[in-house]
Amino acid sequence: MDRRGSGHREYGLVITCEHGGNQIPEPYCYLFNDQQALLDSHRGFDPGALSVARALATEFTAPLVISTVSRLLVDLNRSVGHPRLHAEAVRNAPAEMRQRILEQHYQPYREQTECLVRQAIEDYGQVIHISSHSFTPELDGKVRNADIGLLYDPSRPGELELCERWKAALKTCAQELRVRRNYPYAGKGDGLTAWFRRRLSPATYIGIELEINQKHIIRTGRHWSALRKMIVESLRITIDRNY
């Protein structure tokens, strides 16, 4: 995991994708009968997020943690107790079933990610955690006016600095793209990166959520392939110059 172009690196890199698919494991399929359209929508998963996560992990030879179980069964980017941790069908299921879902899917994902993050800190002294997501172009009748969002906690200097430089690198690679920070969501809201921030110091943990407008994924073809490559290249430029 040495930084490309040098023999030494002072950070570890971990890539995750919490909403990579819309699968429902067989024991719970009956809860989602006649809900395939919902599962296929942005509420069921983050289209494109998994392919970006895999591209980043491949480029940087970084450990990758992914889930292809639908967020409707259990949202791995929510805290236990959050009202949107489960879809309504699961919320109405017996408590024993919800606990089993957490034990089978939620807890192992968190434990694996935490193990890799802490190992990177032990090896390098600092970890950059990139969590790959995508967002629907329109929500509740409002058009989202960004192509890429970088979510972070503004109170943590390392996250602020990395996002400033990543935004600049993205604009250098593709000036036509609209890149916004802490949009379309607030970076310090409930999520996996916020969970790590409560446990790890700003000096050792930098957690960024990468959000890509799904309108680019819908286009598919060479456009989507080129955008993935540009995202990877922009992060390489950001990291190689500054870390």
User: Does 4 reside within a domain?
Assistant: no
User: Does residue 7 lie in a domain region?
Assistant: no
pLDDT of residue 219: 79
Instruction: Tell how strand 64-66 and strand 142-143 pair up.
Output: unpaired
The two three-digit tokens of residue 181, written as one number: 């920070």
Please give the pLDDT value at position 218. 86
25 within a domain of the structure (yes/no)? yes
Torsion (CA) 139, 140, 142, 147 in degrees, nearest 10: 0
DSSP 184: S
Residue 214 maps to a domain: yes
* 230 burial via Cβ count (<10 Å: 0-12, 13-18, 19+): middle
In a domain, 3, yes or no: no
Q: Is residue 1 part of a domain?
A: no
What's the total number of domains in the chain? 1
In a domain, 197, yes or no: yes
Asked if residue 5 belongs to a domain, the reply is no
> What is each CA distance from 139 to 4, 43, 128, 156, in whole angstroms?
39, 11, 30, 29
For the chain, 243 residues long, give each residue's pLDDT as a single digit of tens. Answer: 333 333 456 899 999 999 999 999 999 999 999 999 999 999 999 999 999 999 999 999 999 999 999 999 999 999 999 999 999 999 999 999 999 999 999 999 999 999 999 999 999 999 999 999 999 999 999 999 999 999 999 999 999 999 999 999 999 999 999 999 999 999 999 999 999 999 999 999 999 999 999 999 987 778 999 999 999 999 999 998 666
For residue 34, list its beta bridge partners. Answer: none
Domain that holds residue 232: 12-242
CATH assignment at residue 139: 3.40.630.40
